A and B are shown apart, each in its own frame.
Chain A
Amino acid sequence: MEELQIVGQRIPKIDALDKVTGRAKYIQDLKLPGMLYGKILYSKYAHAQIVHIDTSKAEKLTGVRAVLTGDQIPALKFGFYKDNTALKAGKVRSYRDEVAAVAAVDPEIAQEALNLIEVTYNPLPAVFDPEEAMQKEAPLIHEGHKTNVLKIPWKLISGDVEEARSQSDFVAQDRFKVTWVTHCCMGTSGCIADFDLRNNLTMYSTTQIPSLAQKDYLEFLKGMGLNDSRVRIVQTSIGGGFGSKLDTYAFEYLAILLSHKTRQPVRIVFDRKEEFFATSTRQPAVIDISQGCTKDGKLTFRDISMILDNGAYTSWGATTPSVMMMPISSLYKVPNVRYTAKCVYTNNTYSQAMRGYGNPQATFAIESQIDMLAEQAGIDPFEFRLINSNQPGEVTPQRLKITTCGMKECLESVARELHWKEKRGQGKKRGLGMASLIHVGGGARVYKSDGCGTMIKMDDFGRVDVFTGATEIGQGSDTVITQIVAEELGLRPSDVNIINNDTDVCPWDVGVHASRTTFVAGNSARGAARKIKEQILGFAAQELDALVGELTLQDRMVFVKENPERSLPLEKILRKAHYSNQGKMIMADYFYDPVNENLDREFKGNMSMTYAYGAHGVEVEVDEETGKVKILNYVAAHDVGRAINPMLLEGQVYGGITMGVGYALTEQLILHKGEVMNPNFRDYKMLTCKDRVPIKAIVVETDDPDGPFGAKGIGEPGCVPTAPAIANAIYDAIGIRIKDLPITPEKIVAALKQKKT
């Protein structure tokens, strides 16, 4: 691999200084002059007609500036399936339905006003189980649709599954279930909407999709009759994303409506309870899966049908099957694949993207069952995985083109590190388990563009301003882009200034999702930096009387490679270019859109430029009396292409795994008849520092030819194979296979009791 100066270094995160000193400003910290505080009244029922809303008392309350109900706002639909409205008119379909909104001079008055709003409901029969919701007699959630099943026919077929099944020596068939979990961003959701006198909107926001949100809001403003309005999105420091901010939401539209009505800035910030019950979860699913293999352990087919609980409205959760197709079709070499998924409306909360975007759910089923199938075939599950491992050059049944692939190396390093051969299968309440992953590592073409723009300008002193579309949610894109630009331009990281939070000055980007930012924004930044470098070397060639090809740019100097004495400080070149007749500022822009494909009508296509691979292994100890699982040792090997910043990369792996361990063992948003029963940190079991999992992160570098300096994405992979690795280890320890998440002590004790009888 290329010798590099800045890329590959453990450079501290750029914004860490502001964050450790309390100077970073989050949406909660922002106040504008004259700002009002908005609050939302939610439904008291899972499904009910709204008979009447009396807001008169609330309106009369001193300090209240606006009260809105569903009948008073334009009937504008938003969301992936255009089935959601900012305030619900006519009926509510879930407990998180927004019924009224208030803006007042302080948050306590706004709250008091909510208490004064009287809503009369006529409760309707509700349905909370997607399989029940598919029955003919089930209550209809949306009358406009004739059925609760969404018209999104997820279906991927490659080869002949039935034929392969009949030819298989071993077949496993199981049902797995995954439930609601939620992002738990430490900073709750919020925004401030502010109109100027020309009806231009500035939205102070924590969105992960500034450019797409801008488009959503523009459409909404048009619907409000504001055809000529501009929308500017300014992102504050964002207190965590993990996918939760990948869509636009009712609360944002309500801030817009309230601000427009009052002509004052309006801030809506969720409290923790709202954050738990009124933000979107990871997509729950019922997964029927069968896989087969030959006597010598070669996978013959994979057949999956899924039912997704869509909840009452549709956000990106309903599109997670598009990403589930990737592991289903392409995790290991599997020649015949069939996958269908149905999204079904219920009166539950609705789902969204959450770290892995469907992949953790699908991988839990696939990788749990791989162990079961390997056992049937009498093959060690590690060997089984090696036999079926993906390889460079493969084209998978979904037409994914595998370029670099470190899967084998990942599997082998995990087995080595865990002493797999010696320790597995010993029982004695201790067990080893492993699971692999494939994820998009080179962008993901889910939207029409998968691009990101960068503009760079240099000042007269050798410093560089980088305007990037990439959003910073804590993952470290600010630092990675700094390193890439500094590397390319021979600068120090401190010479680079990143501007990444304002749609008025930053170019377009599809958003921070799909582990794409290092790859796409990184390539974009590198492209712009290369253009800057060309210009600099062009000027320098004249000054040094040399050919461009003879020059190099390093340590803020341009010099002739063969004769380093002949050199010029970068700042001199810049000033020379600027302060001459018909002078020139050194500026460049670059838009990088990866050469990946949208899925076609058969849901096939190479959606990513490259794929991230990894394998996780875990050693657990199970207390058979209490059912408690202790993680003794966790090893995660990831093919990351190249680590631009190993320290930040490890942070992504540690964080992803810890979230994955929660998914496997402790976390569950408990819904009872549509109502969230545990909207707090006490009963939503996110792991604490005391639960810290001992993790060894192994970086496998495959130097991807398409990645910036060889890098692939790493944001999500850490939480993809965690749950099945743990489930497999538990099986190795005590012979119990739990097929629904989370794997609670109750489930283990119950299963052990059943086994004994």
Chain B
Amino acid sequence: MQKIVFQLNGHSVEALVEPHWTLLEFLRDHLELTGTKEGCGGGECGACTVLVDKKAVNSCLFPVLETEGCEIITIEGLMTPEGGLHPLQQAFINHGAVQCGFCSPGMLLSAKALLDENPHPTEEEIRLALAGNFCRCTGYTQIIEAVQSLGAYEVKEVSVMPRGEE
């Protein structure tokens, strides 16, 4: 076991890890942050996407020891500390971008990485940015619409609107 220290969803984490763990294994099996999904284990589907220093990566191929000193954001860290949804999460809900939901966490983090870099992406840019996140349910249309809807995207907290509340 080796000690690592990094920032995870805004908190400092100090942990003992096995050198051969992937970041995904560490998150899911040891920190029990199961919001990050394993869809293929081979970097081919994007379900395990997390942000490492603001960049989207496949956590299933990311050696855990390379997170030393990094800032990691997982789906659990996308909400504001007060529990408000990220605008992208709200947009996904409002636009029907979620069906079975298995790809949603990874998809959302890829979309966040895109918008953080490029707040007004074209449809083409969105399709490129999300090409590494497979979805079998939606045909992508409503996902693209959700991302596009944040034309005036600002990282601002919005209130939770559960279950179709008006």
Contact = CB atoms under 8 A, between A and B. Distances in A.
Tell me whether A and B are bound partners. yes
Interface of A: 10-26, 28-29, 183-188, 237-242, 271-272, 473-476, 479, 482, 492-494, 647-648, 650-651, 654-659, 680-682, 686-690, 692-693, 695
A239 B102 contact: yes
A651 B142 contact: yes
A27 to B, nearest CB: 11
Interface stretch (B64-72, B148-156, B158-166): B158-166
Interface string B9-51: 0000000000000000000100001111111111011010000
B145 to A, nearest CB: 10
10 contacts: A13-B96, A16-B101, A20-B105, A21-B76, A22-B74, A654-B140, A682-B44, A689-B127, A689-B131, A695-B141
Given A187-B102, A476-B99, A654 B164 contact: no
A21 B144 contact: no
Contact of A692 (B89, B127, B136): B127
A647 B96 contact: yes
Q: Indicate the member of B96, B131, B141 with the most A CB atoms within 10 Å.
A: B96
Nearest to A241: B100
B139 interface: yes
Given A187-B100, A187-B102, A692-B141, A20 B108 contact: yes
Given A494-B163, A682-B44, A690-B127, A474 B100 contact: yes
Contact of A655 (B126, B138, B160): B138
Q: Is the interface of B mostly helix, strand, loop or mixed?
A: loop
Contact of A493 (B42, B78, B130, B164): B164
Nearest to B96: A647
A472 B96 CA distance: 15
Contact of A183 (B98, B99, B136, B143): B136
B102 A17 contact: no
B59 interface: no
Given A22-B78, A494-B165, 16 more contacts: A11-B164, A12-B96, A13-B99, A16-B92, A19-B98, A21-B78, A23-B35, A185-B100, A185-B136, A237-B101, A239-B37, A655-B137, A688-B131, A690-B128, A692-B139, A693-B139
A15 B138 contact: no
Nearest to A9: B164
A26 B102 contact: yes
B98 A20 contact: yes
Contacts of B136: 183-186, 240, 242, 655, 659, 686
B105 to A, nearest CB: 5
A450 B42 CA distance: 41
A20 B137 CA distance: 15
Contact of A654 (B34, B134, B138, B162): B138
Nearest to A660: B139
Nearest to B78: A21
A644 to B, nearest CB: 13
Interface in B98-141: 98-105, 108, 126-128, 130-141
B101 A239 contact: yes
B85 interface: yes
Contacts of A476: 99
B164 to A, nearest CB: 4
A12 B94 contact: yes
A10 B95 CA distance: 9
Contacts of B96: 10, 12-13, 647-648, 650-651
A124 to B, nearest CB: 33
A12 B47 contact: no
Contacts of A651: 96, 99, 137-138, 142
Contact of B93 (A12, A482, A687): A12
A427 to B, nearest CB: 29
A185 B100 CA distance: 9
Contact of A14 (B44, B89, B144, B164): B164
B144 A474 contact: no
Given A15-B101, A494-B163, A689-B143, A21 B75 contact: yes
Report, nearest first, the 10 A-B pairs whose CB atoms are least far apart. A22-B35, A19-B101, A474-B100, A658-B139, A239-B102, A22-B75, A654-B139, A474-B99, A29-B34, A186-B102
A272 B35 contact: no
Contacts of B135: 186, 689
A22 B78 CA distance: 10
A186 B47 contact: yes
Nearest to B142: A651
A657 B139 contact: yes
Given A21-B85, A22-B36, A26-B37, A658 B98 contact: no
B146 to A, nearest CB: 10
A688 B128 CA distance: 9
A15 B102 CA distance: 12
Contacts of A272: 39-42, 44-45
Contacts of B108: 20
Nearest to B126: A689
Given A21-B89, A655-B138, A681 B100 contact: no
Contact of A474 (B101, B131, B134): B101
A494 B162 contact: yes
B61 interface: no
B79 interface: yes
Nearest to A684: B44
Nearest to B86: A20
Contacts of A494: 162-165
A506 to B, nearest CB: 19
B166 A680 contact: no
A271 B41 contact: yes
Contacts of B34: 22, 25, 28-29
Contacts of A479: 164
A682 to B, nearest CB: 6
Nearest to B144: A692
Contacts of A240: 99-100, 102, 136-137
B85 A187 contact: no
Q: Indicate the member of B40, B42, B95 with the most A CB atoms within 10 Å.
A: B40
A11 B33 CA distance: 29
A686 B102 contact: no
Contacts of B142: 647, 650-651, 654
